[in-house]
Amino acid sequence: MNENEQTQQKAKTSLWQELKIIFSSSRAFWLVNMVNFGEGIAYFGILTLITLFLGRNVGMSDAMTGVSVSTFTGLVTLCMFGGGFVSDKYGVRKALTIALVLLFAGRVLLGFAEVPADLGLRPLGYVMSWVSIVLMAVGSGILQPALYAGAKEYTNPKVSAIAFSFIYAIMNLGIVCENFISPFIRTDEPFIGGIHGLGWGIMGVFLTCTALTGVLLLAHITLFTKKVEKECRTVAAAEEENQNKTWKQRLSEMPFRDMRFMWFIFILLPVQTLFAHQFLTIPEYIFRVFPAEVAAKFEWINGINPFIIVIFVPLIAMLTRKVSVFKMLLVGTSISAATTFLLIGQQPSLTLLIIYVVVFSFGEASWSSRFYEYVADLAPAGQVGAYMGLAGLPWFMAKFTTGLYSGSMLAHFIPKEGVQNPGEMWLIYAVIACISPIGLLLTRKWIEGGKQTPSVPKN
């Protein structure tokens, strides 16, 4: 079924009917989202602070920290490609189990990476950090495509746009919770009602995330049984048929050879570097150029983005479900790239920073879940995970390449001591991001020409 046929099918279903269908979705769909929500808290609780942790607690330099964090986030997306085959081969339930086991092991190990500097054991801390990074990356790489595969397997095809927006929004709801709780755990600053935080530091946040992962693993194993999986799957026959295929057969059916599709996903790489800067650059940017009272609650600034995503991704998806994915990507990437110019002033402004986060978030909400819906609709039944992995390749490149220079850029433009020029750094990043919407606009006729989706075998 191509994009035009899908749009016509969705047009026959009213918005109210779609909402009734999604909220009456199977038990398996909501169990997938239980993992999605909990992992949103744990993953981003660590990701938000890992740059600070490796630099301040483990003792890495800015450059080494940037490369390490970039390696972690890049491996997550790279592993999504192989991880997609795991969920296609073994099913969503087993894939989530494997992912949670790896994530729990990696997070336990990360807790031992902070070693006393006076004992000369910092190299050991580096090694433990990197092993932890690999374990967590593989776990997350398996988990992410499994979540989206679950959205397709356990919901009615008529509500695919809303189902994928729910996956994206619920993950961000977890991030909202994490960003609200994290400062309370990390600092001893006074909060609402004069209550002081626990002051457990970054390690306290990491241990909390590790404990949550363990609880999530136990809940998943207990509640998401084989019986639930069998009863709730809506594409079981196609799943079983595709599970018998070899990896070579699966790869041959993916749209590598369709230049329109490949250009379509890779032109997003420049604007996706801005997403990488949310955890590679923003934390140190806030800590280095703003007062201590702002830095103490920087997670709250970080939390604006997922808060907007939680509310507006499903809302925008519902209101624009009949609008083509291309148009939504063009609008969304233009907003995200253009708003970065707000940060180019030489004098940092908290007001402009908050406006930047808000407007950038609306840009993200405009196209993020719709893109994943497009990829899932393109994929044959039983191959959603593999297609999600392919669509994640540009994101892998954005995260990995951004980390190769982000630490050096911080050291050059925002050194810990000396003259700082954050505006020049953000100007460079804004110009890079603009390549995406400009590239989409210039090649619009070619992308939209011919078939709307790649010509690949459907099973």
Could you read off the pLDDT tens digit of each residue along the chain, which spans 459 residues? 444 444 444 445 565 566 566 666 678 888 999 999 999 999 989 988 898 899 888 888 888 888 888 888 778 877 877 777 788 788 889 999 999 999 999 999 998 888 776 666 788 889 999 999 999 999 999 998 888 888 777 876 665 666 777 787 888 888 888 888 888 898 887 776 677 888 898 999 999 999 999 999 999 999 999 888 877 776 554 455 555 566 666 666 666 666 777 787 788 889 989 988 887 888 889 989 998 888 887 778 878 888 888 888 778 877 787 788 888 889 999 999 999 999 998 788 899 999 999 999 999 888 876 777 677 666 666 666 667 667 777 777 777 788 778 888 998 999 988 889 999 999 999 999 999 999 999 988 887 764 444 333 333
**Closest listed residue to residue 31, CA positions, set 92, 102, 91:** 92
The answer to whether position 454 is within a domain reads no
Angle, CA of 143, 235 and 223, to the nearest 5°: 50
pLDDT at 305: 84
Cα–Cα distance, 124 to 130 (Å, whole number): 10
**Cα 239 to the chain's mean position, in Å?**
26
- Token digits for 107? 């997070």
Give the pLDDT score at 448.
Answer: 73
User: Is 262 within a domain?
Assistant: yes
Note whether residue 8 is domain-resident: no
pTM (global) more than 0.75 = no
Assigned domain for 11 exists: no
Distance of CA 82 to the CA centre of its chain: 17
Contact predicate 426/343, CB 8 Å: yes
* pLDDT at residue 69, rounded to an integer: 86
Query: Closest Cα partner for 309 from 356, 394, 367, 396?
Result: 367
What pLDDT shows up at residue 450?
43
> CB within 8 A of 240, min separation 6: which ones?
382
Residue type, 165: S
Assign residue 363 the CATH number of its domain: 1.20.1250.20
Cβ neighbour number for residue 245 with a 10 Å cutoff = 17
| pLDDT for the residue numbered 128 | 92
Enter the tokens of residue 274.
Answer: 């801005």
Q: Do residues 392 and 378 touch, judged by C-beta distance below 8 A?
A: no
Position 129 in a domain: yes
190, β-bridge pairs? 196
- Which of these, 441, 416, 448, lies nearest to 337 by C-alpha position? 441
- C-alpha pair distances (Å), 205 with each of 37, 57, 80, 435: 17, 13, 26, 37
> What is residue 262's predicted lDDT score, i.e. its pLDDT?
78
The CA dihedral of 293, 417, 59, 423, to the nearest 10 degrees, is: 70
Q: Which residues, listed in sequence order, are joined to residue 196 by a DSSP beta bridge?
A: 190
Query: How much is the pLDDT for 380?
Result: 66
**How distant, in Å, are the alpha carbons of 129, 261, 404, 431 from that of 337?**
33, 22, 21, 8
Residue 5 in domain: no
Helix (H) or strand (E) holding 416: none
Model pLDDT, residue 253 = 63
Report yes or no on 60 lying in a domain. yes
Domain that holds residue 234: 26-448
Half-sphere exposure of 166 (CA within 13 A, CB side): 23
How far is the C-alpha of 320 from the C-alpha of 27, rounded, in Å?
27
Number of domains comprising the chain: 1
Asked if the structure places residue 67 within a domain, the reply is yes
Please compute Rg for the chain using Cα positions: 22
**Residue 34 tokens, joined:** 């239980």
Q: Which of 133, 29, 117 is nearest to 74 (CA)?
A: 133
